[in-house]
Amino acid sequence: MIKLIEILKEEASKILVPRRSPEERQKNYLIAIQKKIQQYIKNGGEDDLDLRNIPITSLPDNLKVGGDLYLSGTKIRSLPNNLKVGGYLDLNNTPITSLPDNLKVGGDLGLSGTKITSLPDNLKVGGYLDLSNTPITSLPDNLKVGEDLHLSSTPLAQKYTKEQIKKMVPGVKGKIYI
């Protein structure tokens, strides 16, 4: 009986061979995601683009997103030049370390839990800017934030008062949270 079970297991292992390896499935998945992004661009890029928890590492240059761009949980390390997002840009909990020059975000910008240490000159954020739980050490003096600036659990919050930060970045229209 034991010999029969061993023979059946051996035969079953020959029959139940996966058609694609995990590497090939991952490669095909990434190709499908790139096609999704290209179709989004082809359709005019007016709606939200949700790429949360997808293992992408980059986006195409000159990307314009009319709505929200969700990238939290991705492996993205940098953003393309001249990226424009009409709504919310969600980069929370990504390995991103810097932002491109000329980044424009019409809504909120979430960078909580990232490794961002500084922001580019001329950054404009229409809504709030969340830098909580980051190692941010400086802010550009020409930073424009339409609503609140969140700096809790950052080196800046430990080093400066709300009033000192407000003087450093007068372009913040809302409250400063430290």
What are residue 69's DSSP bridge partners?
A: 49, 89
Using pLDDT thresholds of 50, 70 and 90, give the confidence band for residue 176: very high
Write down the pLDDT at residue 82: 84
DSSP codes, 25-81? HHHHHHHHHHHHHHHHHHTTS-S-EE-TT-------TT-EESS-EE-TTS------T
How high is the mean pLDDT of the chain? 89
Write down the pLDDT at residue 12: 66
Burial 61-73 (b: 16+ CB within 10 A, else e): eebebbbbbbbbe
Measured in residues, the chain has a length of 178
In terms of pTM, does the model score above 0.85?
no
Residue 6 phi/psi, 5-degree rounding, is -65, -40
48 to each of 6, 37, 173, 178, how far by Cα in Å? 54, 11, 26, 30
Rounded CA separation 178/168 (Å):
14
Residue spans per domain, the chain:
1-43, 46-177
Lowest mean pLDDT among 27-36, 61-70, 140-149: 27-36
- pLDDT tens, position by position, 118-139: 899 889 999 999 999 999 999 9
Scanning the structure block, which residue is given the tokens 């980051």? 134
CATH of the domain spanning 46-177, picked from 3.40.190.10, 3.90.1150.110, 3.40.1160.10, 3.80.10.10: 3.80.10.10
Q: With a cut of 90, say whether residue 145 has pLDDT above it.
A: yes
- pLDDT tens, position by position, 6-61: 776 777 666 666 677 878 888 888 888 888 888 898 888 889 999 999 888 889 88
